[in-house]
Amino acid sequence: MTAHRVSINHASPVPPYEQLRGQLADLISVGQLRQGDRLPSVRQLASDLGLANNTVVRAYRELETAGLVKSRRGSGTQVVAPAATTDAKAKLAEHASTYTAAARQLNVTDEEALAAIRHALASLDTP
């Protein structure tokens, strides 16, 4: 896993450890990080993202508490949760990637792309 898959918005009101925890949990849930994959060392990831080591330690600890990773001294931190709990999550991630690529080709903003998804979801919920 490389740091370019995750990013920290230092201007966000969401604490950096929570941004990191959420992004890593998402990568695990959609299967981009799979069972047995090693996460970068605390020192490496902190350096790559411009964070304090303790910020990464806290994110990793919370992931471990959630049962998504296992940390062992000297062995690092590995993903222990199944990559995707169902094939549906993997398929959804694939469709999301396809949709995102199409949105980029249309030169729409992220907000416009998300609004289209919200509209489509709302339309399905309407009787």
Q: Which domain holds residue 22?
A: 3-79
Q: Are residues 63 and 43 in the same domain?
A: yes
Compute the 3-state secondary structure of the chain and give helix, strand, coil in percent, each to the nearest 5. Answer: 55, 5, 35
The arithmetic mean of pLDDT across residues 30-48, rounded, is 92
Q: Are residues 102 and 68 in the same domain?
A: no
Q: Are residues 110 and 64 in the same domain?
A: no
The residue ranking higher by pLDDT, 84 or 36, is: 36
Q: Are residues 114 and 66 in the same domain?
A: no
Q: How many domains does the chain have?
A: 2
Output the pTM of the full model. Answer: 0.64
Q: Are residues 70 and 91 in the same domain?
A: no
Mean pLDDT value across the chain: 86
Q: Are residues 66 and 97 in the same domain?
A: no
**% residues pLDDT > 90 (the chain):** 51
Q: Are residues 38 and 97 in the same domain?
A: no
pLDDT digits (tens, 9 = 90+) for 68-125: 999 988 889 999 966 445 566 767 777 888 888 888 899 999 999 999 999 988 888 7
Q: Which residues have a Cβ under 8 Å from the Cβ of 116 and sit 6 or more positions away?
A: 103, 108
Query: What is the per-residue pLDDT for 127?
Result: 61
Q: Are residues 97 and 75 in the same domain?
A: no
Q: Are residues 68 and 11 in the same domain?
A: yes
DSSP state of 52: -
For the stretch 99-106, contacts whose Cβ atoms lie closer than 8 Å and that sit 24 or more positions apart, written own/partner, are: none
